[in-house]
Homo-oligomer: A and B are copies of this chain.
Amino acid sequence: MRFSHLFTKTKKEAPRDEVAKNAVLLVRGGFIDKVSAGVYTFLPLGVRVLKKIEAIIRFEMNTMGAQEILMPSLHPKENWEKTGRWESMDDLYKVTDTHGREFALGPTHEEIVVPLMREFISSYKDLPVAVYQFQNKFRMELRAKSGLLRGKEFLMKDMYSFHADEENLTAYYEAMKETYKRVFSALGISSRTYLTFASGGTFSKYSHEFQTVTDAGEDTIFLCESCAVAINKEIADEKKCPQCGRTDLREKRSIEVGNIFELKTKFSDPFGLSYKDEKGNLRPILMGCYGLGLSRLLGAVVEVSSDERGIIWPRSIAPFGAHLTALGIEKQNVKEKAEEIYKKLSEANIEVLYDDREASAGVKLQDADLIGIPRVIIISERTLSKGDVVEIKDRESAATEDVPIAEILRRFSSFAI
């Protein structure tokens, strides 16, 4: 894509109404736009990153045998009354139509997915089964000031699994922990993201969160470095690892980027979700649920992978595979060479952001740093004076390397889509 075609522009100054680093950099880079506190528009660069995060998660959910569905945001009041959450959930947005019919705006989907599955599961032969969706959630956050980390409206992957017995639920739940670790690894945040013991509610001793360590986090965890697990401070009576019992844990600020929960029969019971076993006896279905916030993950990556110059995207979710910039594009030979390389990369299906603007070298290099695509291909009179070479700059280390033009395609071929 040509930079000159992109309607967004980078901003030099931090927006006055944002304090969170993720929001500041994402707004400055042209990834998001603030509509209201906790409510954002995703701009073209942001949509590209979101879609890549979505593709990574979809692949892993499909690998777990889960089936993709899409549930609505308008939830009938009756469903939420059945679970008692119409009254008990404080941050529920409610709407009423002119006929007096009331709906909740879904902050989660147990109240929809359980009656749905009741239509299709009747026998042990129908189990286990898992469904998931990518869907917008609503939560009445009155003090939303953390950018994408805490939104009134946010994009989530939520998945629900259904099992005949506890053993089957537990096996799936454990496999899901590994799946989540693969997702965080693909997103480049695995070295800072810890399985964290959290409140289990009435049905289980613990649920599990995945917490990414960063000072921007709103949660506090006690981290056991020898087990590489943590416990949420909220539920920790003492500083003690729930796995190995050690007490020399480190207190860290962190962001909850995912959570998984053994719901067991908490939601099956109110909706009468049950199945007939091999002997024809009616038994309750056990459930697990598994959340991942896509917009929050995007914000979390920016919090942990950025510097004073801008964002440093992991390759896997960068908006483009390469950033091509032509310094001194007013010169005919520079422009011609840049256009030639842009064409060559595009024809090889490598996604390129091509900075074809007539702007100073300073502005163009600063924008490349801000936007944060991991590899920047620089063409200038200086590089051309060395023969048929370009400079390839690593965004993170700022190290540069002269690479023959004939070799560029090979260097970027793993970025081809």
Please give the residue numbers on chain A whose beta carbons come within 8 Å of chain B beta carbons, in ascending order.
5-9, 33, 35-36, 39-44, 46-47, 50, 65, 67-76, 90, 93-95, 97-99, 103, 105, 112, 116-117, 119-121, 126, 129, 131, 136, 138, 140, 142, 152-153
The smallest C-beta distance from A61 to any residue of chain B, in angstroms, reads 12
Which residue on chain B has the smallest CB distance to residue A75?
B35
Q: Across the interface, do A67 and B6 meet the contact criterion of CB distance under 8 Å?
A: yes
Known: A98-B142, A138-B74. A119 touches B33 (CB 8 A): yes
Identify which of A9, A39, A126 gathers the most chain B CB atoms within 10 Å of its CB: A39
Q: Across the interface, do A69 and B93 meet the contact criterion of CB distance under 8 Å?
A: no
The smallest C-beta distance from A1 to any residue of chain B, in angstroms, reads 9
Among the listed B7, B35, B65, B120, which residue makes an inter-chain contact with A112, where contact means beta carbons less than 8 Å apart?
A: B35
Number of copies: 2
Known: A7-B129, A33-B119. A44 touches B67 (CB 8 A): yes
Q: Across the interface, do B97 and A95 meet the contact criterion of CB distance under 8 Å?
A: no
The smallest C-beta distance from A163 to any residue of chain B, in angstroms, reads 13
Among the listed B41, B43, B90, B126, which residue makes an inter-chain contact with A7, where contact means beta carbons less than 8 Å apart?
A: B126
Among the listed B39, B43, B74, B90, which residue makes an inter-chain contact with A74, where contact means beta carbons less than 8 Å apart?
A: B39
Among the listed B9, B90, B126, B140, which residue makes an inter-chain contact with A120, where contact means beta carbons less than 8 Å apart?
A: B9
The smallest C-beta distance from A138 to any residue of chain B, in angstroms, reads 7
Q: When chains A and B are docked, how far (Å) is the Cα of A94 from the Cα of B93?
A: 10
Q: Across the interface, do A153 and B42 meet the contact criterion of CB distance under 8 Å?
A: no
Q: Across the interface, do A95 and B98 meet the contact criterion of CB distance under 8 Å?
A: no
Known: A5-B65, A35-B112, A119-B33. A50 touches B70 (CB 8 A): yes
Q: Across the interface, do A36 and B6 meet the contact criterion of CB distance under 8 Å?
A: no
Q: Which residues of B have CB within 8 Å of A153?
A: 72-74
Q: Could you list 6 further interchain pairs (A-B, Cβ under 8 angstroms) beyond the known A7-B129, A9-B120, A95-B95?
A: A33-B116, A33-B119, A41-B69, A41-B70, A74-B138, A74-B152
Known: A40-B72, A67-B44. A7 touches B120 (CB 8 A): yes
The smallest C-beta distance from A323 to any residue of chain B, in angstroms, reads 18
Q: Which residues of B have CB within 8 Å of A7?
A: 67, 117, 120-121, 126, 129, 131
Q: Across the interface, do B76 and A36 meet the contact criterion of CB distance under 8 Å?
A: yes
Q: When chains A and B are docked, how far (Å) is the Cα of A358 from the Cα of B22?
A: 54
Which residue on chain B has the smallest CB distance to residue A94?
B95
Q: Which residues of B have CB within 8 Å of A131?
A: 7
Among the listed B50, B69, B72, which residue makes an inter-chain contact with A44, where contact means beta carbons less than 8 Å apart?
A: B69
The smallest C-beta distance from A129 to any residue of chain B, in angstroms, reads 5
